[in-house]
Amino acid sequence: MTKEVRASQEELHTLIKEKIAKAGLKEAHAEEVATHLTHADTNGIHSHGAVRVDYYSERIAKGGINTEPSFKFEKTGESTGIFHGDNGMGQVVANEALKEAISLAKHSGIAAVGVRQTSHTGTMGYYVEKAAKEDLIAISLCQSDPMVVPFGGSEPYYGTNPIGFGAPRKDKEPVVFDMATTVQVWGKVLDARSKNVEIPNTWAVDGEGEPTTDPHAVKGLLPVAGPKGYGLMMMVDMMSGILLGLPFGKHVSSMYNDLSKGRELGHLFILIDPSRFTNIDMFKEHVDQSMNELNETKPAAGFDRVLYPGELSLIKRKENQDKGIPVVQDIYDYLKSDTVHFDKYGHSSPFAD
């Protein structure tokens, strides 16, 4: 297994920010991207952390990210709107759109804000946690490039199309659940490549459509729970692509094809103010009770205890805050180096090595 080092949150944030800024992103936007990626790594979501910096830096340097975007929020109803991201950095676009959605939800009780012309936005959990800390229930949906073999098919059509959900608690961190509609996200394959380890044979298939344990041989990811995950990724694609008049399904731009152009991706936030339906304190108390009851459930053989959905990330967060964040040595060396990127992503294959 590839060697890892431990870095503090402050060090990792600084290294990511400096690298992204050196690639050409302005300081305020580099700050937001670094905050997002450090959050992901701190929570143990290494598929969306520092492993992405080389790719982001190459796309920024080659002009595929608008470093001076002109953001515009178009209110289309009392509780609806579209945020135009002008192909800016995905984390920045989504974060600004979320601010509009939060404001709208607090005013109207519910908000549905679509995001047009964005790029890779990172982990959905980051956004729904922010909204939940504003006492809102949050759902985040985002389309991605075609990398997933549909149930019964032999070539990719949909993306990993993630879903994020967040809800406030009374005196604890919000409940945050973040999942791809695939058995595993592409970033986990990248993480396995960086660590030079095999992947489970349930994650993906090779060029012949056969299960593979070699992360370098992956030519298609698999939907979670077969037809059920397949249906969920269809739903996400409709709500974050077709609904917003954007490319959909196999027409969504590849992450790695022509890094000089914007990706025109779509994203959707749905926020609900629980106080419009019930007493907010009672709502949070009942969320607490539900999560506590899950923890108190008798564990099955082989398990120490039952965790509620998303709880493992909070456990990882505490561990990594105390011990430092694990970073693959090669990635750490890259972040500390003068190299902006390795010029390895500009090709048509969505499964870049």
**Could you list the active site residues?**
120
Number of helices and strands (H, E) in the chain? 10, 11
Scan for tokens 């659940």, then name that residue.
177
User: At 290, is the secondary structure helix, strand, or coil?
Assistant: helix
Return d(Cα 125, Cα 202) in angstroms, integer. Answer: 24
Residue 204 backbone phi and psi in degrees, to 5: -155, 170
Return d(Cα 274, Cα 283) in angstroms, integer. Answer: 7
> Tokens representing 204?
């993906």
Scan for tokens 């923890």, then name that residue.
295
Cα-based torsion angle of the residue sequence 304, 308, 312, 313 in order, rounded to the nearest 10 degrees: -170
* All residues at 6 or more sequence positions from 153 whose CB lies less than 8 Å from its CB, including other chains: none
Tell me how long the chain is: 353
Distance of CA 210 to the CA centre of its chain: 27
What CA–CA distances, in Å, run from 122 to 34, 48, 100, 149, 352? Answer: 11, 6, 19, 22, 18
Q: What is the DSSP string of 224-242?
A: TTTHHHHHHHHHHHHHHTG
Q: What is the DSSP string of 9-28?
A: HHHHHHHHHHHHHHHT--HH
Asked if 206 and 322 count as a contact pair (C-beta separation under 8 A), the reply is: no
Looking at residue 182, the DSSP 8-state letter turns out to be B
Pairing of strands 265-272, 110-118: antiparallel
Return d(Cα 274, Cα 167) in angstroms, integer. Answer: 9
Return d(Cα 52, Cα 88) in angstroms, integer. Answer: 16
